[in-house]
Amino acid sequence: MEVSKILNVSQLRKTYNSGSGSLTVLDDISFSLEAGETFAIVGPSGSGKTTLLGLCAGLDRPDSGHIELCGVEIDTLDEDERALLRNRKVGFIFQDFQLLPTLTALENVAVPLELQGAKNASIQAKTLLNKVGLGERIHHYPSQLSGGEQQRVALARAFSNTPEILFADEPTGELDEETGQRIIELLFDLNKEAGTTLVIITHDMDLARKTQRILRLKGGKILMDEKVMV
Amino acid sequence: MSDFESSKSGISWLFLMAWRDLRSNAGKLFLFMSSIIIGIAALVAIQSFGNNLTESIDLQSRALMGADYVIDSNQPANEEVIRIMDSLGGPDSREINFASMVVFPKSGNSKLVQVVGTEKGFPFYGEFETEPADASSSYLDRGAALVDATVMLQQDLKPGDSLKVGNITLPIAGALKAVPGRSALSSSVAPAVFIPYEQITQTGLVQRGSRVEYKYYFVADQGQDLEALYEAIDPRLDAEGADLDTHLDESRRLGRRYNNFGKFLNIVAFIALLLGCVGIGSAVHVYIRGKLRSIAVLKCMGASRSQTFKIFLIQVAGLGAVGGIIGTLAGISLQMAAPALLEEYLPVKVSVSISYPAIILGLLLGVLMSVFFALLPLLRTWYVSPLSVLRVQPENDAHTGKAQAVVLGLIFLFLVLLALQILGNWQYAFFFILGLGVSFALLYGVARILMWAVKRYFPEKLGFCVRQSMLNLFRPQNQTSVLLLSVGVGAFLISTLFFSRDILLSKVALGNDENSPNIILLDVQTDQVEAIKKTLRENQVPVLSNVPIVTMRVEEINGRAVNEIRNDTTSNIGRWVLNHEFRVTYRDSLIPSESVLSGAWVGNAEDKELVPISVAENFASDARVEVGDRVTFNVQGVMIATEIASIREVDWGRVQLNFSVLFPNGVLEDAPKFHVVSTRTVGDQSSAVLQRQLVSLYPNVSIIDLRQILSLLEGILNKIGLVIRFMALLSILTGIVVLVGAVRTSKYQRIRESVLLRTLGAKNAQLLRISFYEYAFLGILGSLTGILLSLVGSFFLARFVFEEPFVPSTEPFLILLPILTLIVVCIGLLNSRSVLNTPPLEILRSESR
């Protein structure tokens, strides 16, 4: 049986203009991911990791090359169409959690479902918060939660719309080692349960080795694309 | 995108999100709400009060006149006037009134009063208020007098005491508290004494040359069209030197008397609203700036541009509606207070009623102001890239530029329509907003020049703190333009209020120097002049002026007889010019209240065939004459041909004798005339002795004690000034809210930089000094530019809106400039407070989220 490709990136190039000229951040990047695969993008600061994640998730447009996400050529979509695609197919986890500060934990998790027009968004959000161990703190605001708790709310939110692919940008970057470890376990457990494709950006090689495949970037180019031997 | 259905979340989700976001942000929107509430409160209060005044004048105009219409003249009715009045069914009541001194035998004091002789029946609408109450119905039958209540009090008079009017002495029936047709202002200048009509002749005061008014009151038939009656009868009466007034005219005239006051109040309301609008813009700018990260997150989650835009639009509109309601309620409360403050000096009792148009306007404006002025900052939500979640993104200037141009166009249109609604004149509206736009552009230009100049001539040799503060003015993402614009526009609007208030209050120039007269003797006959001068000398007071007055009427204008002009329906020459009995003087020079607008002043006739005269601007415009035109006057039977040598601007607001028509010396010296003599007394006692002596020696001479009038006018102006200051204060409060918003706008930039400097070892005192220099510099420059622009704007306001001379006060420069600068500096330093009291790392972390 042929395994379907969930992300197909070919000959991607991205350049930023600055006052002193242009800076090529990504150059000739091509790779593809299969559904359910776990994948890490690693590299030193300035290697283009975050730019690549932004392009793959449809948050930005490449200067050239093509991206096919969940079977859709995203470079042909306008901004609102890409937003819709993200709402239906994509989940995010950010280094600094990025919870909406004016919404409670429950409301933060419910937002992606509410955007889909789900009638039982609150119930589903509550179930997810129970799953990440925050059933007792659903009405707390982000400012009333610890860093680890905030990232667990972010995890619940990321999985609330049952995404086909989940992008995680340094998910433990703001957490202490112990808390970070627990978050990673939770992330991989939830991912396994949902069968979601997982793309993690990290400096942490221990975390990267937990995935099935590692893409090393340097100076905006692919240095290595290797399968992790378990 | 065919593979996906469109977003299913509906409008209810947008409202839900708007509410969720708002509930924990109420404090951050304090500035926004304050701007709306104060702006709308001022508008509703001022407009409602204005509407109440107009409605009250309309409703009570009959009671103001005491009848439906009145025919009046400065001479007894001639045969034609009597014929016209007979055709109208004859007058229902008659009145004769004139100013005269009366003597109170009990004390021997004298007083200038308006003697009013009335017949039974008057007033037909409204009523006299007297003490005792039955005095108003009995005084005519008893042959007694009703005396102004204030005079009764001042002179310690009681019903039953007597007063001497000319040759007769009457008992006083009671104190007169209120009379139809007389506001506190006119009755205070010359308080009224009502006596029976039949006894006027016996007073002996109605003589040739006396200033007497004859009035004939009529009650209209039910449903009678008074406008049609006016059209039909007034031209005929005009030809006979009489005039018809209906209660509708009374209503209009009273409206006009408060016209400039109303214009000012409308400008206050409009400025309060404008400041509110700027406040809304500033507050939403700061608010949205803090929301950009959340908006990017929402977009990552799949919210569309339109959805995120609408969430905040709904918030702003909702807050606007709530602010509109609170502002409207606050405005109604203020409206209730206004009549109590002004009651004494209004011609009618203003009944406070809910003014629905003002309330609807207030509620609507709450939403409209919020939406229009929030649009510019809200546009940013549209262009926030979801990538901002991962890294700082530059704004797309090309897109926002076009959108901003459209929004600015919409705002301009909204403001012009708003100004039209409030100021009621599209030219005022257009030019006011255009002026504001030009001010904006100039302020922006000043900011750009400042940045260029500081960069170009950077003061390298100055100390660290000054250099850092100067660097802040032009470094990337500086706030120089935004702050200069906000502070400058705030200063511009607030100082425009100060200047406009001065224009209004300086209308009456009160002379108080040694050469300013404070006693005026009217109706002095030529053969009495020397005797009166002697009396004055005996009392050791100077004769400051002796102005001869000759009465005359216009006979021809440029060869056309007045009767011919009257019959010419196409003529647009003002009827009053044709009918008026002009009181004219002659002299060889101009006085300070006059200045020549065109032509040349000629002080001596020098046997010219045509007498070179000077006419006031209003005469020239109403008589449709220019320099070089010819006017023939009928001077009590003698025709005098004149040529207009000059046209003068006359400041009628001054308390001194001014004339529409002025002759040179050498023509009127032998004409029948009376005189106006002025003097200056020192001390109440000597003034009273002199007045008593004059009234007993020359009962036909009217004496006006200007000291009383001057103190009354000062009192009235102080009271009106109080109301003006109160209303202006509302606008100033909004202005301060704007300043707070403007300075807060720069908070984020300043805090980051201050934290970095502190991390690198800068002391708190150094950080405070850097902030102090920067804000002080921006405060001074912004306020000064705003005030200077306002000086120019106020000149145009004075010239074209108030039609008054503009004498700028120094108040905005001496008071407003330091206060505004201080406010900017204080708010700026308060912004830095959190940096000084908290560890740098904590702030860096909290700011990064």
pLDDT in tens, B809-835: 888 888 888 988 898 888 778 877 766
**Tally of CB atoms within 10 A around B561:** 14
**Total number of domains constituting chain A:** 1
**Contacts with B468 (C-beta within 8 Å, 6 or more apart), sequence order:** B757, B770
The residues with which B163 forms a beta bridge, in sequence order, are B170
Q: Do B7 and A115 count as a contact with CB atoms less than 8 A apart? A: yes
Q: Which of B8, B23, B304 sits opposite A83 (nearest CB)?
A: B304
Q: Do B10 and A77 count as a contact with CB atoms less than 8 A apart? A: no
Ramachandran region, residue A21 (left: φ > 0; alpha: ψ -120 to 50; beta: rest): left
CATH code of A220's domain: 3.40.50.300
pLDDT of amino acid B5: 47
Higher-confidence residue of B109 and B341: namely B109
For B189-203, how does the pLDDT look when each residue is reduced to its tens digit (9 = 90+)? 567 899 999 999 898
Pairing of strands B242-246, B69-73: antiparallel
pLDDT of amino acid B839: 63
Q: Which of B21, B307, B387 sits opposite A102 (nearest CB)?
A: B21
Nearest CA in chain B to A103: B20
Q: Do B20 and A107 count as a contact with CB atoms less than 8 A apart? A: yes
ipTM, two decimals: 0.89
Average pLDDT over residues B781-800: 87
Nearest to B332 by CA among B60, B724, B51: B51
Residue B16 in contact with partner chain A when CB distance is under 8 A: yes
Q: Which of B301, B389, B849 sits opposite A115 (nearest CB)?
A: B301
Nearest CA in chain B to A57: B300
Position A204 confidence tier, pLDDT thresholds 50, 70, 90: confident
Q: Which of A83, A96, A161 sits opposite B849 (nearest CB)?
A: A96
Residue B845 in contact with partner chain A when CB distance is under 8 A: no
Q: Which of B17, B299, B389 sits opposite A83 (nearest CB)?
A: B299
Chain A positions in Cβ-Cβ contact with residue B293 (cut-off 8 Å): 98
Of B254-268, B428-442, B641-655, B775-789, the poorest mean pLDDT is in B254-268
Residue B394 in contact with partner chain A when CB distance is under 8 A: no
Nearest to A158 by CA among A182, A186, A123, A179: A186
Token pair for B734: 């909004």
Angle, CA of B612, B618 and B619, to the nearest 5°: 40
Of A68-82, B398-412, B779-793, the poorest mean pLDDT is in B398-412
**Contacts with B633 (C-beta within 8 Å, 6 or more apart), sequence order:** B552, B553, B554, B555, B582, B584, B639, B640, B642, B661
For A133-169, how does the pLDDT look when each residue is reduced to its tens digit (9 = 90+)? 898 999 999 989 988 899 989 999 999 988 999 999 9
Higher-confidence residue of A157 and B838: namely A157
Chain A positions in Cβ-Cβ contact with residue B390 (cut-off 8 Å): 50, 53-54, 59, 94, 169
B671 burial type by CB count under 10 A (0-12 exposed, 13-18 middle, 19+ buried) = middle
| Residue A109 Cα distances to A113, A141, B214, B301, B429, angstroms | 8, 12, 87, 10, 51
Residue A229 inside a domain? The answer is no
Question: Which of B301, B841, B848 should we substitute to test contact with A (largest number of A Cβ atoms within 10 Å)?
Answer: B301
Position B187 confidence tier, pLDDT thresholds 50, 70, 90: very low
Residue A55 inside a domain? The answer is yes
pLDDT of amino acid B511: 45
Token pair for B835: 């940096």
Q: Do A87 and B306 count as a contact with CB atoms less than 8 A apart? A: no
Pairing of strands B192-196, B109-118: parallel
Cβ distance B381 to B295 under 8 Å?
A: yes
pLDDT of amino acid B344: 59
Token pair for B773: 């220099």
pLDDT of amino acid B848: 44
**Tally of CB atoms within 10 A around B289:** 15
Q: Which long-range contacts (CB under 8 A, 24 or more apart) does B476-481 make?
A: B477/B749, B478/B451, B478/B749, B479/B745, B479/B746, B479/B749, B480/B447, B480/B450, B480/B451, B480/B778, B481/B444, B481/B447, B481/B448, B481/B451
Residue B391 in contact with partner chain A when CB distance is under 8 A: yes
Q: Which of B20, B23, B386 sits opposite A59 (nearest CB)?
A: B386
Q: Which long-range contacts (CB under 8 A, 24 or more apart) does B468-474 make?
A: B468/B757, B468/B770, B469/B769, B469/B770, B469/B771, B469/B772, B469/B773, B469/B774, B469/B777, B470/B773, B470/B774, B472/B750, B472/B753, B472/B770, B472/B774, B473/B774, B473/B777, B473/B778
Chain B positions in Cβ-Cβ contact with residue A144 (cut-off 8 Å): none
pLDDT of amino acid B509: 44
For B558-596, how does the pLDDT look when each residue is reduced to its tens digit (9 = 90+)? 999 988 888 887 787 877 788 788 889 998 888 877 888
Q: Provide the residue range defining the domain that includes A27.
A: 5-224
Computed over every residue of chain B, the mean pLDDT equals: 80
| Chain A residues with at least one Cβ partner in B under 8 Å | 50, 53-54, 57, 59-60, 71-72, 77, 79-81, 83-88, 90, 92, 94, 96, 98-103, 107, 111-112, 114-117, 141, 157, 161, 169
pLDDT above 60 (res B507): no
pLDDT of amino acid B508: 44
pLDDT above 70 (res B2): no
Q: Do B9 and A85 count as a contact with CB atoms less than 8 A apart? A: no
In what helix (H) or strand (E) does residue B340 lie, and over which residues does it extend?
helix B305-342
Q: Do A79 and B305 count as a contact with CB atoms less than 8 A apart? A: yes
Residue B389 in contact with partner chain A when CB distance is under 8 A: yes
pLDDT of amino acid B811: 80
pLDDT of amino acid B748: 62
For B115-168, how does the pLDDT look when each residue is reduced to its tens digit (9 = 90+)? 999 998 888 877 788 889 889 888 989 899 999 876 776 677 889 999 999 889
Position A61 confidence tier, pLDDT thresholds 50, 70, 90: confident
Q: Averaging pLDDT over each range in B398-412, B463-477, B576-590, which range is the top one?
A: B576-590
Position B183 confidence tier, pLDDT thresholds 50, 70, 90: very low
pLDDT of amino acid B646: 94
Q: Do B7 and A87 count as a contact with CB atoms less than 8 A apart? A: yes
What is the domain partition of chain B in residue ranges?
A: 92-219, 543-679
pLDDT of amino acid B56: 62
Question: How many interface pairs between A and B have CB atoms less than 8 angstroms apart?
Answer: 110
**Length of chain B measured in residues:** 849
Higher-confidence residue of B610 and B45: namely B610
pLDDT of amino acid B496: 82
DSSP for chain A, written as a single string: -PPPEEEEEEEEEEEEEETTEEEEEEEEEEEEEETT-EEEEE--TTSSHHHHHHHHTTSS--SEEEEEETTEEGGGS-HHHHHHHHHHHEEEE-TT----TTS-HHHHHHHHHHHHT-TTHHHHHHHHHHHTT-GGGTT--GGGS-HHHHHHHHHHHHHHT--SEEEEESTTTTS-HHHHHHHHHHHHHHHHHHT-EEEEE-S-HHHHTTSSEEEEEETTEEEEEEEPP-
Average pLDDT over residues B640-665: 82
Question: Which of A104, A111, A157, A162 should we substitute to test contact with B (largest number of B Cβ atoms within 10 Å)?
Answer: A111
Q: Averaging pLDDT over each range in B280-284, B472-476, B765-769, which range is the top one?
A: B765-769
Longest alpha-carbon distance in chain A: 53
Residue B593's SS3 state is coil
B38 burial type by CB count under 10 A (0-12 exposed, 13-18 middle, 19+ buried) = buried
Cβ distance B95 to B215 under 8 Å?
A: yes
Question: Which of A69, A114, A119, A199 should we substitute to test contact with B (largest number of B Cβ atoms within 10 Å)?
Answer: A114
Position B733 confidence tier, pLDDT thresholds 50, 70, 90: low
Chain B positions in Cβ-Cβ contact with residue A57 (cut-off 8 Å): 300
Q: Which of B8, B299, B305 sits opposite A116 (nearest CB)?
A: B8
Residue A230 inside a domain? The answer is no
Higher-confidence residue of B193 and B227: namely B193
Q: Do B302 and A112 count as a contact with CB atoms less than 8 A apart? A: yes
Average pLDDT over residues B29-40: 80
Higher-confidence residue of A220 and B351: namely A220
Name the DSSP letter for residue B813.
I
pLDDT of amino acid B555: 93
Q: Do B1 and A92 count as a contact with CB atoms less than 8 A apart? A: no
Angle, CA of B726, B336 and B30, to the nearest 5°: 60
Residue A165 inside a domain? The answer is yes
Q: Which of B24, B301, B303 sits opposite A102 (nearest CB)?
A: B24
For B39-87, how does the pLDDT look when each residue is reduced to its tens digit (9 = 90+)? 888 788 877 777 666 666 555 667 767 888 889 888 888 888 999 999 9
Residue A213 inside a domain? The answer is yes
